[in-house]
Chains A and B, each alone.
Chain A
Amino acid sequence: MTGRLKAVIIKEIWSLLRDPKARIVLVLPPLIQLFIFTFATTLDVRNVDVAVLDQSSGIHSAELVQRISGSPNFREIRHLRSYAELKEEIDNQEVIAALVIEQEFDRNLERGRPVQLGLVLDGRRSNAAQIVAGYLTRITAEMGAEAVPQMQGGVEVTHWFNPALDFIWFTLPALIVIIVSIAGLAITSQAVSREREMGTFDQLLVSPLRVHEILIGKIVPPFLVGAFNGTLYLVVAQAAFGIPFNGSLALFFLALCVYLLALIGVGMLVSSISMTQQQSFLGSFVATTPLIMLSGYASPIENMPDWLQVVTYLNPARYFLIIVQGLFLKGMPAADVLHQLWPLVLIAIATLSASAWLFRSRME
């Protein structure tokens, strides 16, 4: 390493860490995000209130209500007297679902006839409502099935890699990718535009530094911060949340380094285009949103329309997410990791050289 390169790297690290507030901001908020979002982003539905309009008032309808209130998913069962009350409770979002037990419920059940139950759900929260409908269907089906003999055969289901289907096991590895991305893009995109805004960029240009030296100097600090944060989350995921890491650490760090380079390339592109810090921050923000939404974290890529699935191949987060989730739970072998890694290498080369070209052409 030449003396000049070393000097510029030290200068860049200093300018990032000089401000005590900025030092804290680099590490603490991402860690807070990791903790809060791990617990907040669950798709289970618990502690919801439901209402019951029991027009049958028999033994069986009472038993059904008893079974529902016994379920850990529901908090309060509100007893309704009329349809008007039902509409009011749903409209004001006091309850997410209302079960209507009709007058003939007990009579039909005693005569062994099939019975119908009405269920009204709040479609404004269509996700949660669907899940609640699933819970209630299971409860009524259990009650109905107890009378008939158990059937032989059927489908034996096992869930590999996460037998209890613990949602945190999915969320936490994904959050490592998301938070490294948000922080990495935010830091890199500020790199050039801050100098421009402060007027120190011209000083850099008249210094004996070559263009590639300035660029490398800009790349190193976000790379180090990203590597530090990535390692920290890897440790926290195992130590604080007990997520198993079954893969190879060497592969994890190799993938992390390549991903950071690809990410920094995107950030440098934003930074080279921007004239002010405000532009670069808003620009990085506009870049972060599709990066996350098209990564497969917010919803599976296979649910997207075909043409959009093609677009996701350009998203570096897509590959890194598959690698991290694979390494954590599935112990993904090297061949599969490399299969996801080479597109990431191509993206890194493309974004870094594009930003270098843009940087150079903007200087002249």
Chain B
Amino acid sequence: MSPPDAQARRTFDRRRLRAMMVKEFAQIMRDPSTFLIAAAMPLLLLFLFGYAVSLDTAGTRVALVMEDSSAPALALAQSYRASPYFDVSTSRNRAEARRDMIGDRVRGMIVIPQDFGRTVQSGKMPTIQMATDGSQPNTALFVASYGQGIFQSWAANEGLPGAAAAAPRIDLSARFWYNPGLKSRYFLVPGSIAIVMTMIGTLLTALVVAREWERGTMEAIMATPVTMAEFIASKILPYYLLALASMSLCTAIAVAVFGLPFRGSLVALYLLASAFLMPALGLGLFISSATKNQFVASQIALLASFLPTFLLSGFLYEISSMPAWIQAITYAVPARYLIPSLQTLFLTGDIWAHFLPNIAIMLGFGLLFFFLSFRVTRRSLE
């Protein structure tokens, strides 16, 4: 080990740094809430994303109004009842079905009208009516398209004219690479890893440093020989390690419990995570130094880091579909560069051409935030 030169001794002393880090680790260990966020929260998120967020619809409640009781009408009604996509209940009339829809008891209505049986018996294609609950647009589209599908296959079965023509002459066979079963879990889990790291990196750091300011212990620290660089390093390293530990836990559970494939390498995972933690920690420091109040810091951290990671990172919602001014904002959300890389890492493998630019951008944001927090801290001390 080479002896540190005089310049380095003045600005960065290893013993002082160690003492500061011991203090910080003691604080982390003493407070049960850090474990809540580092261990319980990842589990809760994975659990919720694994089970609660399902875009795969099944068993949607619909009301069936039978205005005709002929044999073909009963047969069609039976097709709807047998479908796993619908949970069919019978309504006496359209008004009752509408009331049920207003009361949030059903999501759609299927009406088999009076002349239905007669039309079928005369060998023509009958008409039925469907109404959906438009207040839930996705479910409404689902009900409409599956409702039509069941009708068409029933009509084709009955050999009604025009039914065969409904089948497209150009057939599109779609294959989904890297996620053939289209499990939404596969892309939600990498996203929840990003959220957990945002919470530890930004939220927790912002709170911890704001508390030093709020309680006045910041001045006490600044009165000691500890330099700015040592102070910031002592705040960042423990939370960096905590976030990496939490990320590793998340990954292990995702692979072991939720059966997610892990096709990339651990090196790439830790490189990406480390690169993302730089802007996350830097932002946390900046928020706390700029606000110096735990409540305000927590609210700003929520607005500036957690919610954008959730909603503006392309994790749940497609960025390209957003209006241009919101797309411009997403470029400033570090998670935007992490989440596609993580999804690639898990489902495709190491694609460095994709990872490296993202890592560079995240590190750039990290530098910017650290520079800003240095400036804000220094100014407020003078």
The residues of A with any CB-CB pair to B shorter than 8 Å are 19, 21-22, 25, 29, 32-33, 36-37, 39-48, 75, 90-93, 109, 114-130, 133, 136-137, 140-141, 143-145, 147-149, 151-163, 165-167, 169-170, 182, 186, 190, 194, 197, 274, 276-279, 281-283, 285-286, 289-290, 293-294, 298-300, 302-305, 308, 322, 325-326, 328-333, 335-336, 339-340
Alpha-carbon gap, A336 to B100, bound state (A): 9
**Which among B101, B128, B172 has the greatest number of chain A C-beta atoms within 10 A?**
B172
Which of B15-23, B225-233, B247-255, B339-347 is the contact stretch?
A: B339-347
B54–A303 touching, CB < 8 Å: yes
Whether, in the assembled complex, B125 has its beta carbon less than 8 Å from a beta carbon of chain A, the answer is: yes
Give chain B nearest CB distance to A62 CB in angstroms. Answer: 15
User: Per-residue 0/1 for B33-65: is the Cβ within 8 Å of any A Cβ (1 yes, 0 no)?
Assistant: 110110011001100100111111111110000
4 A-B pairs with least C-beta separation: A123-B179, A162-B134, A151-B162, A153-B125
Asked if residues A149 and B165 are in contact (CB atoms below 8 Å), the reply is yes
Considering the chains assembled together, what is the distance between the CA atoms of A341 and B56 in angstroms? 29
Minimum Cβ distance to chain B for residue A85 (Å): 14
* B298 close to chain A: CB less than 8 A: yes
Partner of A158, one of B129, B135, B163: B129
Chain B contacts for A157, CB-based, 8 A = 129-132, 144, 147-148
**A215 vs chain B, min Cβ distance (A):** 20
Find chain B residues with CB under 8 A from A298 CB.
52-53, 316
Task: Tell whether, in the assembled complex, residue B298 and residue A281 are in contact, meaning their CB atoms are under 8 Å apart.
Answer: yes
Query: Least Cβ distance of A291 to chain B in Å?
Result: 11
In the complex, what residues of B have CB within 8 A of residue A149's CB?
A: 165
Q: B48 contacts which of A42, A122, A152, A289 (Cβ < 8 Å)?
A: A289
* B177–A121 touching, CB < 8 Å: yes
A-B contact number at CB 8 A: 344
Return 9 A-B CB contacts under 8 Å, by A number. A21-B296, A47-B320, A91-B354, A124-B344, A156-B130, A161-B134, A165-B140, A197-B215, A340-B104
Whether the pair B101, A160 counts as a contact (CB closer than 8 A) is yes
- Contacts A115-B169, A123-B186, A149-B165 hold; do A42 and B317 have CB atoms under 8 A apart? yes
- Which residues of the other chain, B, contact A281 by a CB distance below 8 angstroms? 203, 207, 294-295, 298
Question: A279: which of B32, B57, B148, B183 is its contact (CB, 8 Å)?
Answer: B32
**Chain A residues closer than 8 Å to B140, beta-carbon distance:** 159, 162, 165
Question: Known contacts A93-B344, A300-B139: does B295 contact A22 (CB below 8 Å)?
Answer: yes
Residue contact B340 to A304, C-beta cutoff 8 Å: no
Residues of A contacting B58 with CB < 8 Å? 303
CB <8 Å contact, B31 and A141: no
Is B75 among interface residues, defined by CB-CB distance under 8 A? no
A282 lies within 8 A of B33 (CB): yes
Q: Are B44 and A43 in contact (CB under 8 A)?
A: no
B296 touches A19 (CB 8 A): yes
For B, the interface residue count at a CB cutoff of 8 angstroms equals: 113
Contact for B318 among A45, A144, A159, A339, CB less than 8 A: A45
Q: Out of B98, B311, B351, which one reaches A40, CB within 8 Å?
A: B311
Chain A residues within 8 Å of B348, by CB: 91, 124
Contact A151 B130 (CB under 8 A): no
B114 within 8 A of A: no
Residue from the list A25, A124, A186 in contact with B178, Cβ < 8 A: A124
> Are B172's CB and A119's CB within 8 A?
yes
Query: Contact: B312 with A290, CB < 8 Å?
Result: no
Contacts of B133 in A (CB 8 A): 160-161
Binds A, one of B321-329, B360-368, B374-382: B321-329
In the complex, the answer to whether B169 meets A145 with C-beta atoms within 8 Å is: yes
From A187, which residue of chain B is reached at the shortest CB distance? Answer: B295
For the complex, what is the distance from the CA of A46 to the CA of B165, rounded to whole Å? Answer: 30
Complexed CA–CA distance, A161 and B283 (Å): 43
Q: Which residues of B contact A161 (CB under 8 A)?
A: 133-135
Assembled-state Cα–Cα distance A285/B134 (Å): 32
- Stretch from B235-243, B273-281, B299-307 forming part of the interface with A: B299-307
- A278 adjacent to B208 (CB under 8 Å): yes
List residues of chain B with CB under 8 Å of any chain A CB: 31-34, 36-37, 40-41, 44-45, 48, 51-61, 98, 101-104, 107, 119, 124-141, 144, 147-148, 151-152, 161-163, 165-166, 168-180, 182-184, 186-187, 199, 203-204, 207-208, 211, 215, 291, 293-296, 298-300, 302-303, 307, 311-312, 314, 316-318, 320-323, 326, 329, 340, 343-344, 347-348, 351, 353-354
Which residues of the partner chain A approach B170 to less than 8 Å between Cβ atoms? 109, 114-115, 117, 140-141, 143-144
Q: What is the bound-complex CA distance between A329 and B137, given in angstroms?
A: 12
Let me know if B178 and A127 touch, CB within 8 A.
no
CB within 8 Å for A123 and B101 given contacts A151-B162, A294-B52: no
Asked whether, in the complex, the Cβ of A303 is within 8 Å of the Cβ of B56, the reply is yes
A351, chain B: closest CB distance, angstroms = 19
From known contacts A92-B354, A285-B199, infer whether A42 and B322 are also in contact, taking CB-CB under 8 Å: yes
Give the CA-CA distance A115 to B31 in the complex, in Å: 65
A124, B343: Cβ atoms closer than 8 Å = yes
A45–B172 CA distance with the chains assembled, in angstroms: 19
The answer to whether A124 and B102 touch across the interface, beta carbons within 8 angstroms, is no
Tell me the complex Cα distance, A322–B104, Å: 7
CB of A276 within 8 A of CB of B173, answer no
